[in-house]
Amino acid sequence: MSLVVVGSVALDSVETPFGKKEEVLGGSATFFSTAAAFFTRVLAVAVVGEDFPEEHLAFLRSRGVDLEGITREPGRTFRWSGRYTYQLNEAQTLDTQLNVFERFSPRLPARYQEAEYVFLGNIHPELQSRVLDQVRSPRLVAADTMNFWISGALPALRKTLQRVHLLFVNDAEARALAGEHNVVKAARAILRMGPGRVVIKRGEYGALLFEEDHAFALPAYPLEDVFDPTGAGDTFAGGFMGHLAHARTLDHATLRRAMVFGSVLASFNVEQFSLERLRVLSLGEIQARYRLLRQLTHFEEIQTSMD
């Protein structure tokens, strides 16, 4: 049940209509690890700079995240700053300082190489491939990507996708990658690129899972207060992969539950800035919202009187 994540650990500066936070803990590997750690042991691979606060590493360690794969390099930590308008669905990037992340070349400690579950966060697809070179016999390799690589590194991405079992994308990324506006057609096109499964995240509208012969549609938990969407996608992936690694099966019922856990974790994450909500979140709250989401979406068979 070992789950490896490779991604970024960052200091984010985020502005939303509800407030502003400077240099708070962020990064794909951070959100993913924190979410997944509710379900399973996570082995993290990332890089931080000399200026990265020790307390953030201590936080991840306190969640049982294995940090042997996080190296501290000379220079400053990766910084991202962005702003959200009232729509809250897409960030406007104000500034990106790659810093030590620019020379990030993921190296997996020996123990990590036996991992059964792997999540390739949103990094250059060539780096994603290099991670896979180091994993012996993964049971499930999942990956995230973004429009930047779809438009800027498509050949490398296509190569990586042939080694990926499950791809996480949002609507716009699915459309761009497939060159198809219709989301069902886009999903089918992505399945033909290699991954046997694709999860399409649609923010406040929910998420879709497509496999060759199977599909699942899940609405999002309706939130009255969305505070900061940063990290929602990685938190979703963390809840999803954490549940899979815990459950140790990949049947449809388990994949569907993973979708729900991903969605539940993401719904909590956006309720506060940075990882503030995940820091105080309990397993009981996660289970309660899972049940609420089930109540919210359940409907009965057709009554026979209608026949």
Given a contact cutoff of 8 angstroms between Cβ atoms, the answer to whether 296 and 259 are in contact is no
The count of chain residues that interact with its own copies, using the rule CB under 8 A, is 47
Given a contact cutoff of 8 angstroms between Cβ atoms, the answer to whether 267 and 35 are in contact is no
168: its two tokens: 């996480």
Q: Which one of 3-11, 22-30, 132-140, 240-248 is the stretch in contact with its own copies (CB under 8 A)?
A: 240-248
Residue type for position 96: T
Quick check: 251 binds its own copies (CB under 8 A)? no
- Strand 197-201 and strand 166-170: the pairing is parallel
- Residue number, 64 or 152, with CB nearest to its own copies: 64
Quick check: 189 binds its own copies (CB under 8 A)? no
Site for its own copies in 54-113 (CB under 8 A): 86-87
Quick check: 307 binds its own copies (CB under 8 A)? yes
Q: How many CB atoms are closer than 10 A to CB 27? A: 26
- Residue number, 148 or 205, with CB nearest to its own copies: 205
301: its two tokens: 């068979």
Torsions phi, psi for 226 (to 5 deg): -105, 120
Quick check: 302 binds its own copies (CB under 8 A)? yes
Quick check: 41 binds its own copies (CB under 8 A)? no
Q: Which one of 24-32, 103-111, 215-223, 229-237 is the stretch in contact with its own copies (CB under 8 A)?
A: 215-223
Q: How many CB atoms are closer than 10 A to CB 192? A: 11
Quick check: 216 binds its own copies (CB under 8 A)? yes
Residue type for position 189: A
- Residue number, 75 or 219, with CB nearest to its own copies: 219
With CB under 8 A as the contact rule, the residue among 158, 257, 271, 276 that binds its own copies is: 257
Provide DSSP, 199-234: EEE-GGG-EEEEETTEEEEEPPPP-S-----TTHHH
Query: Which positions touch its own copies (CB under 8 A)?
Result: 39, 86-87, 181-185, 188, 202, 204-206, 208, 215-220, 222-226, 243, 246-247, 253, 256-257, 259-260, 287, 290-291, 294, 296-303, 306-307
